[in-house]
Amino acid sequence: MSVLGVEGEERNDFSPEESRQIRQRSIRLLGSLLSPTRARLILTMCVVVISTAAQVAGPALIAIGIDRGLPAIVDEGNGTPLALVVVAYLLTGVIGAVLIAWYTVLAARISQGILIDLRKRVFLHTQKLSLEFHESYTSGRIIARQTSDLDAIRELLDSGINQLVQGLLYMVFIGIALFSLDWVSGLVLMVFLVPLGVLTRWFQVRSQRVFRETRVASARLIVHFVETMTGIRAVKAFRKEKRNAADFAGYVEGYRDSNSRVIALFGTFDPVLVLIGNVALGVVLLVGGLRVADGGLQIGVLLATLLYTRQFFAPAQEMAMFYNSYQSAAAALEKISGVLEEQPSVPDPTRPIDLWNAKGRVRFDGVEFAYRSDRVILPRFDLDIPAGQVIALVGSTGAGKSTLAKLMSRFYDPSSGAVSLDGLDLRMLHPKDLRRAVVMVTQEAYLFSGTVSENIALGKPEATRDEIVAAARAVGAHDFITSLPGGYDTDVNKRGGRVSAGQRQLISFARAFLADPVVLILDEATASLDIPSERLVQEGLTTLLADRTAVIIAHRLSTVAIADRVLVMEHGTIVEDGTPADLIAGTGRFSQLHAAWRDSLV
């Protein structure tokens, strides 16, 4: 089984080889995230090294104060050594504190820099991924990646680096200080590194699984949550609340339990760590005490070794916490790197061809298409649409009209054959040129939260207000827009809930109008409009389509009036092709459809 990309995202039974693969891709991602901040990272390290050294100096200075400063005063009445020690202590204290404060800000800059980098990468990458990916991955999972997974990484970066670096340094510095003060105690402490290592390893092995579970559980929760909130009307209307609540409670429980397992694991780790530390303290005390009693060790040094021993294990705890956030972040990074590893099935060309002034001739050459390899939707066909031709594409639901439109706008690539614009394969075109030349408007007129004018301007971000208004006028949307509370600046709310379905379609029409493409594809874009509005749109279309190539898919055959050519599709095949007049006059499928439609009018 493959672990490439997002496949195996919900699995937790990886073979060593697979685990290695996953770990490597996470590490690669981490490396690429860290490398731009290298300079700052080095600076931060320096700050941490100095500040930790300053902090570690404390107990040693106290020892010196007691062992040297005290006798100097008692025996010689000389206060200078003590004064020097105190000043040194103050100095290290101030330096340590200031550096740590500085470090906090530095680290935040680094971590925020990395986060924003990662956020943007995931965002852009998900935008690049093809519809095929989105249709199976679900929006909820992407949201989970961008929210709770990124939170986990943020936690690691925020406190983790601090915990790790400081913890490690602390241990090293304390080790050095201890050895230089009293090598016997140093050795004693080293012995305790063994149980510490065993414990850490145990934790590492156990926690990885549990953290993976948490990521999966939280993603499930988010997917369900988003789906409920998105479909809240249907939830209410069909009394799904109770059933939803039961399902949700199940996911909540799953998430709760996996979190509990994490905490329980740490709840064993932490006290065992303290235990090791305290036993070490006792042993150091014993070994040191015996020598003090012999006169082989000074009391101040004993105190310092004790303080150091205690501090030695405090960062071990910090490091355990680091490890905690590290595991959590690593699990998150695994999922994110999986998404980033996904290759768009409709990839951007590596060496794109520029197409500045497209004429609008579209050709399908030996095109065949299947969404899933087991079921061909469009059997092999050819189609030539000369520049400037307006085509009405008709056929029953499920015939494959939308599929053809999606191939033409390169939402999908054909399984074999090629779709070309002005003789250039769509796969070779620069995405920017392609999108400028070919625009598709669908029945689901999605509006983004934001104002009406922002939504229209999506067709042409640099458009002036006048252009936006002109586009709205052209499709007959101006009147209703001006009657909204804030006119063009009315917020349409999420998904455009503030305006009616037909109004949404008008706005998305205006959007396409403003984009001004040479090839325009309308996939049932007027389905929710009332007849007068549709009429206005069609009037707009007659001007709009004057010198454009267009494919209009509509069940209301009124569109046929503005078409130069009609294509009739059945079961993925174009069964009729001709001018509207010819086809209506004939006896084929279209003339039947047309007759049925005429009958349905009054």
Which of 19, 42, 201, 448 lies at the binding interface for another protein (CB under 8 A)? 448
The count of C-alpha atoms lying within 13 angstroms of the C-alpha of 319, restricted to the half-sphere facing its C-beta, is: 23
Q: How far is the CB of 395 from ligand ADP (least distance, A)?
A: 6
Which of 167, 360, 395, 417 lies at the binding interface for another protein (CB under 8 A)? 395
Q: How far is the CB of 287 from another protein (least distance, A)?
A: 10
DSSP per residue over 487-523, as a string? GGG-B--GGGTTS-HHHHHHHHHHHHHHH--SEEEEE
Residues lying near Mg ion in the complex (CB under 5 A) are found at 402, 500-501
Report the site for ligand ADP in 134-173 (rule: CB under 6 A).
Answer: 135
Q: Which is nearer to another protein, 22 or 265 (CB)?
A: 265
Residue 254: is it exposed, middle or buried by C-beta count within 10 angstroms (0-12/13-18/19+)? middle
Which of 446, 571, 585, 586 lies at the binding interface for another protein (CB under 8 A)? 446
Say whether residue 505 binds ligand ADP (CB under 6 A).
Answer: no
**Of another protein, ligand ADP, Mg ion, none, which one sits near residue 80, judging by CB under 5 to 8 A according to partner kind?**
none
Span of 5-13, 67-75, 179-187, 330-338 interacting with another protein by CB under 8 A: 67-75
**Of another protein, ligand ADP, Mg ion, none, which one sits near residue 26, judging by CB under 5 to 8 A according to partner kind?**
none
Say whether residue 290 binds another protein (CB under 8 A).
Answer: yes
Which of 204, 497, 585, 596 lies at the binding interface for ligand ADP (CB under 6 A)? 497
Q: How far is the CB of 415 from ligand ADP (least distance, A)?
A: 13
Q: How far is the CB of 151 from ligand ADP (least distance, A)?
A: 31
Report the site for another protein in 498-537 (rule: CB under 8 A).
Answer: 498-503, 506, 508, 511, 515, 524, 527-535
Say whether residue 356 binds another protein (CB under 8 A).
Answer: no
Span of 7-15, 179-187, 262-270, 354-362 interacting with another protein by CB under 8 A: 262-270
Compute the C-alpha angle 231/233/238, nearest 5°: 100
Say whether residue 250 binds ligand ADP (CB under 6 A).
Answer: no
Which of 154, 401, 436, 504 lies at the binding interface for ligand ADP (CB under 6 A)? 401
**Of another protein, ligand ADP, Mg ion, none, which one sits near residue 151, judging by CB under 5 to 8 A according to partner kind?**
another protein
Compute the C-alpha angle 367/369/370, nearest 5°: 165
Q: With CA atoms as reference, report the closest residue to 476 among 457, 441, 502, 497.
A: 502
**Residues that contact another protein, how many (by CB under 8 A):** 186
Report the site for ligand ADP in 352-371 (rule: CB under 6 A).
Answer: 371
- Give 433-437 contacts, CB < 8 A, sequence gap 24+: 433/352, 433/354, 433/355, 433/356, 433/358, 434/355, 434/410, 436/515, 436/517, 437/355, 437/358, 437/360, 437/517, 437/518, 437/519
The count of C-alpha atoms lying within 13 angstroms of the C-alpha of 577, restricted to the half-sphere facing its C-beta, is: 8
Report the site for another protein in 401-440 (rule: CB under 8 A).
Answer: 402, 409, 411, 431-432, 434-436, 439-440
Helix (H) or strand (E) holding 429: none
Q: With CA atoms as reference, report the closest residue to 50 among 95, 101, 93.
A: 95
| Tokens (6 digits) for 323 | 């490890």
Instruction: Give just the sign of the alpha carbon dihedral 400, 405, 410, 414.
Output: positive
Say whether residue 183 binds another protein (CB under 8 A).
Answer: no
**Of another protein, Mg ion, ligand ADP, none, which one sits near residue 377, judging by CB under 5 to 8 A according to partner kind?**
ligand ADP
CB 478 within 8 A of CB 469: yes
Q: How far is the CB of 400 from ligand ADP (least distance, A)?
A: 4
Rounded Cα distance, 531 and 76, in Å? 108
At residue 163, what is the residue type? Q
Q: How far is the CB of 498 from ligand ADP (least distance, A)?
A: 5
Q: Which residues are 507's β-sheet partners? A: none
Which of 20, 28, 201, 494 lies at the binding interface for another protein (CB under 8 A)? 494
Residue 215: is it exposed, middle or buried by C-beta count within 10 angstroms (0-12/13-18/19+)? buried
Rounded Cα distance, 381 and 389, in Å? 19
| Residue nearest Mg ion by beta-carbon distance | 402
Q: Which is nearer to another protein, 28 or 256 (CB)?
A: 256
Say whether residue 179 binds another protein (CB under 8 A).
Answer: no
CB 584 within 8 A of CB 594: yes
| Tokens (6 digits) for 231 | 């479909």
Span of 36-44, 64-72, 227-235, 397-405 interacting with ligand ADP by CB under 6 A: 397-405
Which of 5, 59, 360, 414 lies at the binding interface for another protein (CB under 8 A)? 59
Report the site for another protein in 90-109 (rule: CB under 8 A).
Answer: 90, 92-94, 96-98, 100-102, 104-105, 107-109
Say whether residue 218 binds another protein (CB under 8 A).
Answer: yes
Q: Within 10 Å of residue 260's Cβ, how many Cβ atoms?
A: 12
Q: How far is the CB of 21 from another protein (least distance, A)?
A: 26
What mask, x for binding ligand ADP by CB under 6 A, covers residues 449 to 488?
----------------------------------------
Say whether residue 61 binds another protein (CB under 8 A).
Answer: yes
Helix (H, G, I), strand (E, B) or coil at 219: helix
Rounded Cα distance, 540 and 559, in Å? 12
Q: How far is the CB of 315 from another protein (least distance, A)?
A: 11
Q: With CA atoms as reference, report the closest residue to 265 among 203, 197, 332, 320.
A: 203
| Residue nearest ligand ADP by beta-carbon distance | 500
CB 93 within 8 A of CB 34: no
Residues near ligand ADP (CB under 6 A): 135, 371, 377, 395, 397-403, 497-500, 502-503
